[in-house]
Structures are given as structure tokens and as C-alpha cells.
Amino acid sequence: MLGKLIKHDFRSLSRVLLPTQLAILGATILATIGFAVNLKMDYSHVQINGVLSLIRVITGLLSGIMVVAIIAASILVAFIIFQRFYKNLISDEGYLTFTLPVTTTNILWSKLITAMIWTLISSAVIFVCLNIFVLFGTGNDGFVNLDAYRAIGEALNAVNTAIGARVIWPILEIILFILIAAANNILQIYLALIIGGVVSHKHKVLAGIGFYFAINFAVSMLMSIIQFLFSGSMLNSFNNLNGIQWENKNALEIYNHLFGAIQPYYWFYLGLILALTVGYFLLSRYLLKNKLNLE
């Protein structure tokens, strides 16, 4: 049943979100063409005639469109994900959603998973668009610009020779952190919307926004307290770095020292965010199961 929930939810999201991604892609192509034309125009003539200067202005503006499109689409993606959640669960459609023969746990999972998938899709689209722009829009002499990629390749090579394949670990840790932080953010907003729907009868969305800030405030208070309580013991791992003769160390040794020193922080903070995320999930499930009074 979870698969069916995800399928239908994904379809209902994609119907609205796919056009936004196509818009980013379209804006990117325009911006890329504009920038490429702008770069390759011959400015050596002393007098620039009217048409030429008009083309310059237009092509210059085109590249701005891409930035605007990316920002607007990112906001829209987030907005629509949460709007779908609200409509499906807390508005009249909730009568359908909550009488399906599925568990509340599965409903929440489906909402989390589809939101994560769409966050990943929109991030991937932005990544691809930036690459299109760099590759085809910024070539000075040729049609494509491979300089940037060459530079990145060389940097990666250097890292690889210095510290080897173990560089994968910090990368994996960053990816893991981003995924959990994304789930944490999504579930925090879901929870706020649910609380808004439970306590308010008239202004559910407004109440939800209020609760979002309230939860944020509570979490940052909690984080400050925890940081205060643990700061002494946490600092120890960095204290170990004192007295190391850095100038005598090679890249691998420096990497090992720093990576090792960061680990306690990383796992502690990750555990904390994970605990919050699980807490949001369980509280959301409890409220949806027992407290949601659809009008």
C-alpha cells in the first residue's frame, strides 16, 4: 500500500512541479545562448551601432533570467510540496486519505518520501542547468568550455594522490547529513501544519506558520542548552590538535588529524538531528491518528 500511496502522491506533485522544472531548463537555455552570444560579440569596433548595443543589453538580461527562474522554481517546489500535504491531509481531501485502508504511518512515509524525491529532482535539475550554462555559455574561443571541468579534475586528482580513496568518507558523511537535514526540515513543517490543523478551526494555515516558528524557537533553545552542556567534553577532541607539528606533516596526516577531530562533533550533531526528525515523525503520527478533527 505504501507503494500505491507514493505512486499517487508523486503523480499529483509531478503534475504541478514538472512544468516548473521545464521552465528552469528553458530559462537556462536562453541564458546560455545569451551569454555565449554576449561573450563572442566583437567589441573592437569603436562605434557600436544601435542594433549591436541592443543585442548586448538583451543577451546580458537573458543570463539574469536563469537566476530568477532557479530561485522562483525552488520556492515554488517547496510551497507546492507543503500545499499538497495540507490539502491531502488537513482539508476536505483528508476525508478520502484517512478512510483509505492504509496506516497513518504509511501515509506519513509516503509524504516524506515524495517530498524527498522531489527535493532531489529539483536539486539535480539546478545542477544540470548550471553545468549547461558553464559548458556552453562561457566558452571564450570555442563552442564549449571545458576549462572548469579540467580544473575540477586536476583538483580531484591532487586530492586522490595525497590522501587516496578515503576521501570518500567525508563526502559520504556530507551526503548523509544533507539527507537527514532535508528530512528534518520537511517533517518539521509537516508537524507545524498538523498542529495548526489540530488546534485551529478557522485559520489552520496561519496557525501552522505560527507553530513552525514556535518549533524553530524551541529547537534552537534546546540546541543552545545541549551545546552548553556538552561544550567542555566536545572541545577535547580539538584540544588534541594542540602541539601537533603541522609543518612536519604531509597532507594525509593533516587530513587524518582534522577528520578525526571533527568526527565526535559530526556524529553527535547528526544523532541530535536524527532524534529530532524521529520525534517530529512520531508526534505527527500521534496527532494524525488521535487528534485530527476534520471539520
Return residues touching another protein (CB under 8 A).
Answer: 1, 4, 7-8, 12, 15, 87, 92-96, 98-103, 289-290, 293-294
- Which residues have CB under 8 Å from 265's CB, separation 6+? 234, 237
Quickly tell me which residue has 507553530 as its cell.
211
Smaller CB distance to another protein: residue 88 or 145?
A: 88
Least Cβ distance, residue 83 to another protein (angstroms): 12
Question: With respect to another protein, which residue has the nearer C-beta, 150 or 289?
Answer: 289
C-alpha cell at 17: 512541479
Closer residue to another protein (CB): 93 or 173: 93
Q: Residue 235: how many CB atoms within 10 A of its CB?
A: 12
Residue closer to another protein (CB basis): 183 or 195: 195
Q: Which is nearer to another protein, 76 or 262 (CB)?
A: 76
d(CA 189, CA 208): 8
- Cβ-based nearer residue to another protein, 99 or 140: 99
Spatial distance between the Cα atoms of 217 and 53, rounded to a whole number of angstroms? 52
Minimum CB–partner distance for residue 92 and another protein (Å): 5
In angstroms, the Cα distances linking 212 to 108, 186, 247 are 18, 11, 49
**What residue spans of the chain are helical by DSSP H?**
2-40, 50-89, 94-97, 104-132, 147-163, 168-199, 204-239, 251-290
The span from the CA of 138 to the CA of 153, in Å, is 18
Whole-number minimum distance, CB 201 to another protein, in Å? 10
Q: Which is nearer to another protein, 17 or 183 (CB)?
A: 17
Instruction: Name the minimum Å distance from CB 129 to another protein.
Output: 28
CB neighbour class for 13 (10 Å; exposed up to 12, middle 13-18, buried from 19): buried
Q: How far, CA to CA in Å, does 245 sit from each of 242, 252, 260?
A: 9, 14, 16
Q: Which is nearer to another protein, 42 or 92 (CB)?
A: 92
Shortest reach from residue 38's CB to another protein, in Å: 41
**In this structure, what C-alpha cell is assigned to residue 40?**
563572442
The CA distance from 153 to 150, in Å, is 5
Q: Give the Cα separation of 174 and 172 in Å (integer).
A: 5
- Report the nearest approach of another protein to the CB of residue 70 (Å): 26
**Could you tell me the smallest distance in angstroms from the CB atom of residue 74 to another protein?**
23
* Spatial separation of the C-alpha atoms in residues 90 and 111, rounded to whole Å: 13
Q: Hey, what's the cell of 199?
A: 488546534
Query: Smallest distance from the beta carbon of 208 to another protein, in angstroms?
Result: 20
